[in-house]
Structure 1
């Protein structure tokens, strides 16, 4: 068999990020078991598990069973979690409060947490996400080598949060006057063109959080924090689709299209949405719950029209991912009958 030389420690400062409470244990465990099976049993990237409440021994024991990688536990301080004024004003239910707090944390505070300061990249871990493809190259190393800031596999249309469209009007007017100029807004190399129609109204496109792999570099800038404070002051109402949409709003001034990568080779499902690659050469790596077909998402098609060459042929796939594959010890090569 082929002996694989595993690195003593991961070569990139990256982590899987879990934000969860005790009642989400089973869903988180399900996702982590698949991440380990499909990817991390080879690369051993650590997990940072953050919670606003003390996690039970049952939760921690489940994590220890699911992965051999290092697991770092931390709490989310009230100053990064509670949103009392808005919650009281809206007379929010417990479920609504949780949605508000989780999405607000991801949007404006996760990159500030002390346990994440030693990491440059994160892979967001959400409950009950299914991964359908084996990943045999280092995703984080790929992100670093290509100088990418955000990776995704599912693109969706925000339809349930009407307030997002009002927020975009306020936000875009602000950045046009305070940050950007018309030349930037109409520049086809920017991200602006993906989420707007002719640089004007928000079209609802966003990258789903089922697969969210990113750099925290641009989030740690004063400019990002300043824009987040503006959104808070504008009275944004956090909802189920809010944090990924707001992140996309703020990336419009930080990222260009070539900073963003579509992981076509990572099949993923959540909440009835599925992406699986249609390329025949990937069929041995992927086991999808439905016949392999191209994702019909309007937003995904829009992004692919803006950035060509995202679906690779087999030769391109091998060539581009090879530098991120684990080295093989030829001395350990054994022939078996």
Structure 2
């Protein structure tokens, strides 16, 4: 009889626990949709309980000796939810959803579940309810959905449409990647000159760009946005490589013309040696791969870059050639910033096909639960500009870097 009573009590306790759990889960299952300042923007706000996360105790990441891989002393583990005015930003269409959710899970699992930063999605067409519901369910922080103004995703009035069409046909015949794509050109122009001006982005000072089909290989146990802010970093990257010369034949010439008219924008301590092998006479094609970039939005909003973009835009190279946002961002960062304001993240394991950024220090990979093969690391391989970056910044390379060339 005593055993029967004990079983009844245990059953009752389990039943109560299940009921409580179902009730708690139900409080966060249906996000409410609130107007985001205009009819073309939407944001979703989750109950505060959904933002809670377990955060490791504070301490310097550099406590362990990783040899020449030792991380910057300014990188700290954060004991609190992130407080920097920062957000992730993804330019995506509704049909990108199933490619993007994997990227979101990587970022959330490896980083944002500890810090709860917001996520901004931008699209040249309205987001579907399925896109909004699915992405909101995956993200720790607040999610916002914005429509791109037509004037930011169309041919500007000064573009000769026949000339632009002829360029696309020529590039198609030459089989230049995305050479005949109109939408790709609109994307490059938008990422170069407009994403940071969107009304939803005006709430933030820093951003982390995330694209579909990327992976984050390692745990990130410090607040990257706080690191950027505390250390005066304005542009951060993981992968650098050479651009296709056929897509930007006059970009450097146009840049030099801009600098001739605006010599004061060239920083005295610039990273010119990263983008040019001859003091600025020619462009060596090195650029930071912008599908991953963490940056200071106020740099893009500043006078130097604003005038530079407007100059490039008026020149028409986005449509008469196929100028990409990656070389444009890279050239601007290299020339207008103090080189100390640019940061390479060797510790952020990252993949965007076909290139990998995989920490080559064995102990670091184990400590941060990395799931990548260091032999795949692209940093010091031939087509990479990693060697050039280390040289231009006068950084000491990892002791074992030659094993991964």
Which category of TM-score, normalised to the shorter sequence, fits these structures? 0.7 to 0.9
Aligned to 1:104: 189
Report the Cα distance in structure 1 between the residues aligned to 2:361 and 2:378, rounded to whole angstroms: 9
**Number of aligned pairs?**
307
Asked if the contact 1:17–1:124 (Cα under 8 Å) also holds between the matched residues in 2, the reply is: yes
Aligned to 1:162: 246
SS in 2 for 1:237: helix
2:343 to 261, 279, 290: 261
Bigger shift: residues 301-310 or 62-71: 301-310
Aligned to 2:107: 35
Which stretches in structure 2 are left out of the alignment for 5+ residues? 1-53, 58-77, 170-177, 400-405
Cα 1:245/1:126, change in 2 over 3 Å: same
What is the TM-score normalised by the length of structure 1?
0.83
Report the Cα distance in structure 2 between the residues aligned to 1:218 and 1:245, rounded to whole angstroms: 16
Cα 1:68/1:32, change in 2 over 3 Å: same
Aligned ranges 1:123-138 → 2 under 5 Å: 123-138=208-223
Higher RCO (Cα < 8 Å, 6 or more apart): 1
Aligned to 1:67: 139
SS in 1 for 2:182: helix
Q: Displacement of 1:290 after TM fit?
A: 5.6
2:116 to 44, 56, 75: 44
SS in 2 for 1:44: coil
Bigger shift: residues 293-302 or 138-147: 293-302
Aligned to 1:316: none
Across the aligned residues of Structure 1 and Structure 2, the Cα RMSD in angstroms comes to: 2.7
Aligned to 2:226: 141
Which stretches in structure 1 are left out of the alignment for 5+ residues? 314-337
* Residue 194 of structure 2 corresponds to residue 194 of structure 1: no
Aligned ranges 1:70-89 → 2 under 5 Å: 70-83=142-155, 86=159, 88-89=161-162
Q: Which has the larger radius of gyration?
A: 2
1:288 to 366, 372, 378: 372
* Residue 391 of structure 2 corresponds to residue 305 of structure 1: yes
* Residue 196 of structure 2 corresponds to residue 116 of structure 1: no
What is the TM-score normalised by the length of structure 2?
0.69
Asked if the contact 1:7–1:43 (Cα under 8 Å) also holds between the matched residues in 2, the reply is: no
Report the Cα distance in structure 1 between the residues aligned to 2:337 and 2:228, rounded to whole angstroms: 14
